[in-house]
Amino acid sequence: MNAVLAIDAGTEAIKAGLFDESGQLLSIGSRRYNTYFPRPGAAEQDPNEWWNGLVGAVGDCLKDSPIAPDQIKGICADATTCTVIPMKANGEPLRRALLWMDVRATEQAARIFASGDDSLRYSLAGVSAEWFPAKALWLKEQEPEIYASADYLIEYTDWLAYKLTGRWSFNLNTLAQRWYYHTPSGGWPLSFYERIGLGGVEAKFPRDVVPIGDPAGELSATAARQLGLPAGIPVAMGGGDAFIGLLGLGVTEPGDLGVVMGSSNVLSGLSATEVHFPGIFGGFPDAVVPGLSLIEGGQVSTGSILNWFKREFGGSLATEADAKGVSIYRLLDDEAARVPVGSEGLIVLDYFQGNRTPHTDSLARGVVMGLSLQSSRAHAFRAIMEGIAYGMKDILDTFKRHECVVSRVIACGGATHSPLFMQIYADVIGQPITTTKVTEASLLGSAVAAAYGAGWYPSLVAASKAMVETSGVYQPDMSRHEAYAFFAQQYRDLYNAIRPVQHTVTRHVLG
């Protein structure tokens, strides 16, 4: 038996998994790392912790595997998107990475959007402070010495490819989505960079741009020694975790929508044409599947809000959870299941780190409205889940208004482990939601890319179709869907009503 090694570098942990040709997960390892929040709106991670985590995760995976290291025929790694690192050519990071959820570049994003450049067709509702141009401009203006000293400005995925192969390169997936790289018009938007104050930034870019699944290089002797693998294994280029996850969900044709439910939610699908309209990101040509354009919506804070709530308000359940051998989330779900639809008037805006789509508002923040003296922990936890589902519906309704048909919704990630949360999602959006047998879709997506890179399949689409298997469907209860329609509308109205106040307060706090 042969296998491929998939690496998925998420927000809270890095995972390594071995998969066979049919997409069966043979073994998995995982290591957590820290996120640092030095000020409001800021989020950073240490690349040294990433590598230590990867070495540990691969070691754990190999220890529990029926596969010997010399049976591994391909490797691919994905990572969070918009996680930017200034690097020296010798591989030394010049500071902690600016994590995707870092929104310190809000002012820079607003100035970039005000430029009105044609490249902004990808983000017609506004430029996100998460994206590369805003982060790069922030570095140039706020940390000029680091910016000037950087030989390369790269993303987490590209850092992984470098660490594995010793070669500097860019992944096309991230460039198309977050750097305004446009293959039909020749690639780099140099006049756009010049216009927004980043003229010459391309001197800090690796020369090679590599599509998903194409060769990034071979596993270097240095990396092989640390990982316990033979040198020379082909390393296929990866991409952003949520978008590699489309391949692990079987999203390969127009009409399919993949929802990766992690610390954030990413909703993305494929279009036969390059469409652009306010309230989405895209369409990004050739970003995942050659010849198709990626369209995207997203929520900045979803699973991270639930994690925050568990950490700050669920601690008293720890003893009970240990005694029953279940997670704290399971006990919180049990409490929330007893609360009626709409949480008796409690409405949560899930904009704890801003809104990605449809508003692209980095100054927005989370809101809990409707508290009364009867409000309990159960009310709050259910209201958070409902608020996140309202945010998903807001994005899907934006797709529909612009005639982007969503015929099938396929989901993966942490939320799929909660039947209550998945049923809330289905009830709120009024559509069935399919889940997959391998819930780690980003990990499986990297395995799909590695299998294609190893020559097992003739295309990414063929590899995805062969390696992805569905497991079940959550059907909506249409009576609950009708009841949720009122609260979903109030969710939208609440944001519009308080937006000016939110902006004033956030600007004041950020200084």
- CB-CB neighbours of 501 under 10 Å: 9
Residue 373 has phi, psi (to 5 degrees) of: -70, -10
- Spatial distance between the Cα atoms of 122 and 67, rounded to a whole number of angstroms: 43
Residue with tokens 């310190």, as numbered in its chain: 104
CA distances from 379 to 182, 220, 225, 317 (A): 46, 53, 52, 16
Let me know if 488 is exposed, middle or buried by CB neighbors in 10 A (0-12, 13-18, 19+): buried
Over 22-79, what HEC string results? CCCEEEEEEEECCCECCCCCCCEECHHHHHHHHHHHHHHHHHCCCCCHHHEEEEEEEE
C-alpha dihedral, 451 to 455 to 457 to 461, nearest 10°: 70
Q: Give me the helix-helix angle, 106-114 and 132-142, nearest 10°.
A: 120
Number of alpha carbons in the 13 Å side-chain half-sphere of residue 297: 23
What's the rounded Cα separation, in Å, for the pair 97 and 9?
14
Task: Judge if pTM exceeds 0.75.
Answer: yes
| Structure confidence at residue 511 (pLDDT) | 77
Give phi and psi for 355, each to the nearest 5. Answer: -115, 130
pLDDT of residue 214: 98
Residue type, 297: G
User: What is the predicted pLDDT for the residue at 262?
Assistant: 86
User: Residue 125's pLDDT is what?
Assistant: 86
Fold matches, 3-298+436-472 and 299-407+418-428+477-510: yes
Residue 127 vs residues 82, 102, 399, 425: alpha-carbon distances, Å: 13, 14, 19, 28
For 486, the enclosing helix (H) or strand (E) is helix 478-510
Do residues 53 and 92 make contact, with C-beta atoms less than 8 angstroms apart?
Answer: no
End-to-end CA distance of the chain: 59
The pLDDT of residue 413: 85
**Closest among 297, 384, 267, 307 to 35, alpha carbons compared:** 307
Torsion of CA 57, 74, 181, 87, to 10 degrees: 50
Helix (H, G, I), strand (E, B) or coil at 205: coil
The predicted structure's pLDDT at residue 126:
87
Could you read off the pLDDT of 152-191 as tens digits, one per residue?
999 999 999 999 999 999 999 999 999 999 999 999 999 9
Question: Which residue, 421, 133, 180, 189, is CA-closest to 303?
Answer: 421
3-state secondary structure of 480: helix
- For 405, residues 6+ apart whose C-beta sits below 8 A from its C-beta are 254, 255
Assign a CATH topology to domain 299-407+418-428+477-510. Nucleotidyltransferase; domain 5 (3.30.420)
**Opening angle at CA 491, ends 485 and 496, nearest 5:** 130
C-alpha span between 272 and 403 (Å, rounded):
13
Q: What angle do CA 196, 200, 203 make, to 5 degrees?
A: 135
User: Which residue ranges of the chain lie beneath pLDDT 50?
Assistant: none
Contacts of residue 190, Cβ cutoff 8 Å, sequence gap at least 6: 202
The CATH number given to 3-298+436-472 is: 3.30.420.40
Question: How distant is the alpha carbon of residue 285 from its chain centre?
Answer: 19
Mind giving me the DSSP string for 271-309? ESS----TTSEEEEETSSSTT-EEEEEEESSSHHHHHHH
Say how far apart CA 436 and CA 408 lie, in whole Å.
Answer: 13
Whole-angstrom Cα distance, residue 468 to residue 446?
A: 12
Residue 354: DSSP 8-state: B
| DSSP letter for each residue of 170-230 | EEHHHHHHHS--BGGGTB--HHHHHHTT-TTGGGGS-S-EE-TTSEEEE--HHHHHHHT--
Taking the C-alpha atoms of residue 356 and residue 318, their distance in angstroms, rounded to an integer, is 33
Distance CA(97)–CA(133), nearest Å, equals 15
The tokens for 115 are 């430029």
> Hey, which residues does 30 pair with through a beta bridge?
15
* pLDDT, position 64: 85
Spans of all domains in the chain: 3-298+436-472, 299-407+418-428+477-510
Give pLDDT, residue 41: 85
- Name the β-bridge partners of 308: none
pLDDT tens for 340-389 read 999 999 999 999 999 999 998 989 999 999 999 999 999 999 999 999 99
Non-local (6+) Cβ contacts of 238 within 8 A are: 7, 76, 77, 78, 79, 157, 160, 161, 171, 173, 212, 216, 244, 446, 449
DSSP string of 235-255, one letter each residue: EE---BHHHHHHHHHT--STT
